[in-house]
Amino acid sequence: MGRKTVTLLPKYRRLLSSMGENIKLARLRRNLSTEQIAERANLSRPTLAEIEKGNPNTSMGAYLQVLAALGLEQDLSNVAKDDLLGRKLQDISIKKK
């Protein structure tokens, strides 16, 4: 069984690309090499390169390992934290009862 390829809309590709660029900038600001981060994250350098490019076929676990190696793992807890639409929908359903 081969690897699945993820097909994303262009705006989502840009979003992942931006995230990868932010990860790369965080690494560079810390003056860490790709070799150092790859070793700390227990990943290969090519996998780290794919993360820094925002490759959608790279696992979320690998992204998390790199964020942890950079000390940014708590940033992941902000994803979907403030779900305004979900809360509004929930409030509407509560009011109907």
pTM score, whole prediction: 0.83
CB 67 within 8 Å of CB 75: yes
The full set of domain ranges for the chain reads 10-96
**Domain 10-96, CATH 1.10.260.40 — does that match?**
yes
Percentage of residues in the chain having pLDDT higher than 90: 68
Distance CA 97, CA 94 (A): 6
Residue-wise pLDDT tens digits, 30-59: 999 999 999 999 999 999 999 999 999 999
The SS3 call for residue 71 is coil
Token output for 23: 């990860």
pLDDT at 82: 83
pLDDT at 76: 85
Encoded amino acid at 65, one letter: Q
Percentage of residues in the chain having pLDDT higher than 70: 94
